[in-house]
């Protein structure tokens, strides 16, 4: 690791010292001081993040920070594949899991703007199997009673994770498991996502729609709605409407054989304070069938692979009010709606609400960590995270591949390290 660390440090110094150089897809770089950040303090952050690699807690990481639209900090640490001796690079591909949700939510809002759907529409308009839903209410001893849902599930409910369904872990978990739905992993299914969603409609909900925030299949369902409303596969729609206009050439649901070597290996704690590669088996805690598999089921909730540069371009588009490099994806008012709290009095997290695809910071003191009111973001199951801080004109992307991320506090160090580097 030492020689690679030296090369990586030289690369970081080169980035800090240059202004106006280009990385992937025309994201321009700038000396941190020109963007109101400290080179010295960012170097401290880099050392802290790299310590997680040197201590054997993660295999590697890619970090990308944009301020005022320019790359102000970019770092690659460690290895994307320890066993094969392959280092992390800026173009390393990652399974971004639930970071897929923000992109699919954007797809829904594209259709909303065009009038091809309305987020007030009931889900049953697109999937009649979700009409007259029932809710499983726990009654003790592992049993439950069924109640008729008090209201229909709307597209807006799905965008805000108030649709009433989990990832198959609610009171009727046995029925969900028997139907083949538990957890967020769809890469092994050999049927289109719409068939899976239609089948789900026969299963009991975990809560009445619109009454609780429950993390679950909401955005997978939205992906299937996009297919119904657009007449295209989710992959085709996102490619044509988001990836191609934004120059996100490395974002896709499945990785080709030619690009397989770029896909980072997933690691797990080894029980002895280190890490080991997860076996190349199927399922949520595996390498997954993102290269060898049916390549049919496009999971809107957790299916995409991408790079730090690609995802940063997507986020910068949202920070710019819906456009990037002359390509408008959404209107400024739609972005405002997406990044506003929609939960009202529904409990979520201290100091945070939820918009249409993102958490939204509503009270910085209650949240209790550095940032700004109006910040929005989310993360992924393989221990990736991102956020956008409009007040500071800041975009942050942090990608790594470890599950479960037991005992890691790198998110907190990343956040404090970025904000302590702001000097303007």
Q: Which CATH superfamily is domain 91-254+293-362 in?
A: DD-peptidase/beta-lactamase superfamily (3.40.710.10)
Q: Is residue 386 pLDDT above 70, yes or no? A: yes
For residue range 314-356, what is the model confidence (pLDDT) as tens digits?
A: 999 999 999 999 999 999 999 999 999 999 999 999 999 999 9
Q: Is residue 21 pLDDT above 70, yes or no? A: no
Report the C-alpha gap between 335 and 358 in whole angstroms: 11
Q: Is residue 371 pLDDT above 50, yes or no? A: yes
Report the C-alpha gap between 91 and 88 in whole angstroms: 8
Average pLDDT over residues 259-270: 97
Work out the mean pLDDT of the chain and round it to a whole number: 94
Average pLDDT over residues 53-73: 97
Q: Where are the domains of the chain?
A: 91-254+293-362
Residue 11 pLDDT class (50, 70, 90 cuts): very low
The runs of H, that is alpha helices, within 115-162 are: 155-159
Residue 352's pLDDT is 98
Report the C-alpha gap between 242 and 223 in whole angstroms: 14
If residue 395 lies in a helix (H) or strand (E), which one and from where to where?
Answer: strand 394-399
Instruction: Give the chain's length.
Output: 424
Report the C-alpha gap between 42 and 31 in whole angstroms: 11
Average pLDDT over residues 31-46: 97
Residue 26's pLDDT is 65
Residue 282's pLDDT is 86
> Residue 259 in contact with residue 93, Cβ under 8 Å?
yes
> Residue 339 in contact with residue 358, Cβ under 8 Å?
yes
pTM tops 0.75, yes or no: yes
Cis link prior to 3 (omega < 30° from 0)? no
For residue range 206-251, what is the model confidence (pLDDT) as tens digits?
A: 999 999 999 999 999 999 999 999 999 999 999 999 999 999 999 9
Q: Is residue 18 pLDDT above 50, yes or no? A: no
Q: Is residue 23 pLDDT above 50, yes or no? A: no
Residue 9's pLDDT is 42
Q: Is residue 14 pLDDT above 70, yes or no? A: no
């Amino acid at each position: 690791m030492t020689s690679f660390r030296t090369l990586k440090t030289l690369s970081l110094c080169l980035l800090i010292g240059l202004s106006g150089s280009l990385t992937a897809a025309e994201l321009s770089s700038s000396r941190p001081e020109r963007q109101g950040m400290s080179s010295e303090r960012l170097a401290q952050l880099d050392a802290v993040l790299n310590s997680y690699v040197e201590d054997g807690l993660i295999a590697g990481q890619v970090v990308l920070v944009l301020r005022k639209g320019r790359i102000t900090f970019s770092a690659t640490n460690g290895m994307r594949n320890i066993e094969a001796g392959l280092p992390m690079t800026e173009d390393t591909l990652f399974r971004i899991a639930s970071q897929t949700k923000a992109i699919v939510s954007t797809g829904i809002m594209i259709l909303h703007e065009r009038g091809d759907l309305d987020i007030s529409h009931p889900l049953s308009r697109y999937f009649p199997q979700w009409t007259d839903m029932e809710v499983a209410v726990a009654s003790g001893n592992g049993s439950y009673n069924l109640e008729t849902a008090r209201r229909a599930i709307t597209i807006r409910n799905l965008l805000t994770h108030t649709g009433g369904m989990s990832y198959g872990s609610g009171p009727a978990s046995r029925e969900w498991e028997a139907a083949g739905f538990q957890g967020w992993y769809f890469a092994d299914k050999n049927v289109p996502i719409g068939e899976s969603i239609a089948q789900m409609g026969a299963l009991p909900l975990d809560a009445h729609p619109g009454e609780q925030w429950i993390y679950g299949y909401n955005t997978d369902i939205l992906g299937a709605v996009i297919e119904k409303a657009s007449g295209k596969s989710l992959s085709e729609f996102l490619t044509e409407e988001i990836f191609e206009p934004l120059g996100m050439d490395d974002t896709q649901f499945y990785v080709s054989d030619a690009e397989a070597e770029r896909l980072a290996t997933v690691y797990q704690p080894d029980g002895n304070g280190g890490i080991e590669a997860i076996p190349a088996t199927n399922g949520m805690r595996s390498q997954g069938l993102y290269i060898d598999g049916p390549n049919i089921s496009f999971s809107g909730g957790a299916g995409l692979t991408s790079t730090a540069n690609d995802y940063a371009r997507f986020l910068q588009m949202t920070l710019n009010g819906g456009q990037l490099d002359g390509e408008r994806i959404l209107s400024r008012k739609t972005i405002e709606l997406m990044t506003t709290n929609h939960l009202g009095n529904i409990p979520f997290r201290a100091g945070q609400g939820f918009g249409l695809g993102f958490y939204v910071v509503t009270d910085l003191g209650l949240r209790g960590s550095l940032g700004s009111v109006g910040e929005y973001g989310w993360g992924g199951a393989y221990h990736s995270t991102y956020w956008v801080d409009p007040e500071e004109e800041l975009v942050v992307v942090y990608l790594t591949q470890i599950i479960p991320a037991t005992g890691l506090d790198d998110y907190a160090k990343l956040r404090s390290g970025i904000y302590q580097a702001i000097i303007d």
